Structure 1
Amino acid sequence: MQHICVGSSGYYLKEDTLVFTATMGGRTIATVEISLKDFSIIQCRAFANGVCEYAEQIAGIINANKKMIAERTESRRVSA
């Protein structure tokens, strides 16, 4: 259990955001919310809403994959 407010605050209901978990070795290390407008990280939080020690690495992965995220997001919008 991640102990964050994604569920209770309804972040996952926002139309222009993507919320996912980042895992390492099968263990959840962070919950990440990104903007689907510019693919920037809105928040990256660790257990109990703490600061994620891997935030820079997660940001690097997101930045390296912005094009793929955009393509997949657009294809989902078209097919919906």
Structure 2
Amino acid sequence: MDKLILDLMKDGKDINEILSMPYHFLIEILRDKNNPKQEKSLIAAALNRGLTGVKDKLRTVCSEIKENLSVFVAVIDL
């Protein structure tokens, strides 16, 4: 459950918004993450995994940009 909350925060959700979510809603999100959809074809599965990889990479790049931007803003404020 902790990992789910941390993942939601990394995706940009506010902690107060997460804490106000109904418990059953969080359980549904957790269940969906742990039970991936079964694809009907190998091509669809490969495409889905490829898009997930792109999403993960974009999330990493976005966090790096935010980190670098905060350093840049701190330098400008001096």
Query: TM (normalized to structure 2)?
Result: 0.31
Structure 1 or 2: more strand by fraction = 1
Query: TM (normalized to structure 1)?
Result: 0.31
Question: Max radius of gyration: which structure?
Answer: 2
Structure 1 or 2: more helix by fraction = 2
